[in-house]
Amino acid sequence: MAIDTEPLVVNIGPQHPSTHGVFRMRVTLDGERITDAEMIVGYLHRSMEKLAEERTWTQNIPFTDRMDYLAAMTGNLSYCIAVERLASIEVPERAQYLRVIFAELQRIASHAMANGTFVNDCGAWQTPLLYMFREREKVLDLFEMTCGARLTLNYMRIGGVAFDLPDEFLPQLRSLLDELPDRIAEYEQLLVDNEILLMRSRGIGVLSPEMAMNSSMSGPMLRGSGIAWDVRKADPYCVYDRMDFDIPVGHTGDSYDRFRVRMEEVRQSVRIIEQAVAQLPPGRHCADVPLNFRPPEGEIYSRIESPKGELGFYLISDGGPQPYRFHVRSPSLINLSALREMVVGQTVADAIVTLGSIDLNVGEMDR
């Protein structure tokens, strides 16, 4: 005899510890299974894109810190590259290498946060998270040593970077690079074959390659579904075309694959930094850009590979001291778009794991 059940609507949020920021998911349940899900954003909206149209091109750099504040370096970098391409500014070679070094250090720090909190969502206690924070703190020490900040960095500049490396930077970076391979192996020994992690994440939140492409996914979300696409290789910027590295991919597109892709990307970031340090040339760290900088009239879309995926800036200049139009392609917002398809049929507990595997940042979505 069939039992009639009545759908139950449950709000997960608008504040929930599984997200960075304020996000709400409204799910419809049949028993413990999700039959429908609605993602609701906008609680953190700050009108950043409109405010940027009232400030000078240089004054807008700190705004990019406050989008994905867990990857402020890459926010800075994407915007500065877009402005440089709009104005045909040639960046000194040393600055290009410094940008690669700091962008990859930021990727390591961001993935440490992503994987640490993801394992927490899967039911682990604080130990893996604190292990990964140990390395993240060492990256932030390098940031602080160079620019005086640890989170919202404001380090990149139109034409290069704000400061050259202090004398103590390279020895401390060398120490971290020597240490990281063993640390990554330690994480893998703890987690890769962990029964609880496997049970909670394998087959959970599966994203097919077709759905990933149709949803315009990028970053570890796309690569976790088996598609080896990375802006650093597909559309190289800075000096990534001189770097030898691999693109890690998953096989089934589930939450576990996305976790493994981020873990392997940390190893690849170490390879890239090693090469960039070995090739680092002398010279200037920034081009001469006037204080009253005014790009010529025109428009540009420029993108980079941020830790979360393709981060792009669409800028229009009318020849004035501030942008006529300032728009951001947020990887967090795009990657969230397939969440409904990924969680329908799952339990609420599995939906939290799926949400954690996306590694979204609401500050980047609500601009």
Local confidence band at 127 (pLDDT 50, 70, 90 cut-offs): confident
Minimal CA–CA distance to 351: which of 238, 204, 235? 204
- The closest of 149, 131, 132 to 141, measured between CA atoms, is 149
Predicted confidence band at 181 (pLDDT cuts at 50, 70, 90)? Answer: very high
**Domains in the chain, ordered, with CATH?**
47-365 (1.10.645.10)
Cα 51 to Cα 175: distance, rounded to the nearest angstrom: 41
Q: Provide CB contacts within 8 A for 261, sequence distance 6+.
A: 220, 223, 224, 248, 249, 250
Predicted confidence (pLDDT) per residue in 240-282, tens digit: 999 999 999 999 999 999 999 999 999 999 999 999 999 999 9
Cis omega (within 30 of 0) on the bond before 248? no
For residues 72 and 151, is the Cβ–Cβ distance under 8 A?
A: yes
Q: How far apart are CA 161 and CA 76, in angstroms?
A: 10
Beta strand 298-306 pairing with 156-157:
unpaired
Q: What percent of the chain has pLDDT over 70?
A: 97
- Which residue type sits at 209? P
Reported as a pLDDT band with limits 50, 70 and 90, residue 292 is confident
